[in-house]
Structure 1
């Protein structure tokens, strides 16, 4: 009589493999049973109320609606205030580098930063000085000419 080809360790390995397969099947069936795939969109929806809390009831939007005129909606960048070229303006020197010979003036009305070169300054100016100037178009944007300390 011949001996069986299966040894004790082979039988044990086979049992472990079958047990793993069974556990895997059990887990997949459990996942399918508790799955939320069959839920409708309304069941899965969550809402945030005015206080920032998450709720399952949708907010009442009809009472909080505001009418907005189409003319009030702004598209694109904000409009810049056009500066008259020949008017004398006032501003404050925000930065001035004496070694390099240039700086910037913040306009009092438009709050726009305007370039100033030392050749356009009459007298001596420093940072935080109040000055008068005439706006003009420079190579890279607005520039100040005829700058004088107040």
Structure 2
């Protein structure tokens, strides 16, 4: 019974992190495959790191957005009228942008620096460099994004 209460209290955070992890897994593997492919055509480690990061965002953002919408669409509907509350939607979008701006900047810098450094060393395969850099950057990102969504009060306390 305690686990159920704990889950209900933090349900929004659990779903938020689930969405991040699912979309992140897709981006993770897309990045690993792409960085290996890119390395066959160019030995420029910095270009590989940056282009892989861009591809990861092209995969991550749409998936996360869709999953977040699915989990939260009922929050934006007025229960009495059944109409969408566009003010609440705009407010949450601003909060999401604020939280993600900080955490994604930290993720992007750490991912590119780690990816570049590992590629430059040249002792592991390019796909492995992408995976190692992503895992380390994701750990940092998850800490920062959770602190950020708490700071901007994205979810109302229950």
- The two structures have a TM-score, normalised by structure 2, of 0.20
Structure (1/2) with the larger strand percentage: 1
Q: Please identify the structure whose Cα radius of gyration is greater.
A: 1
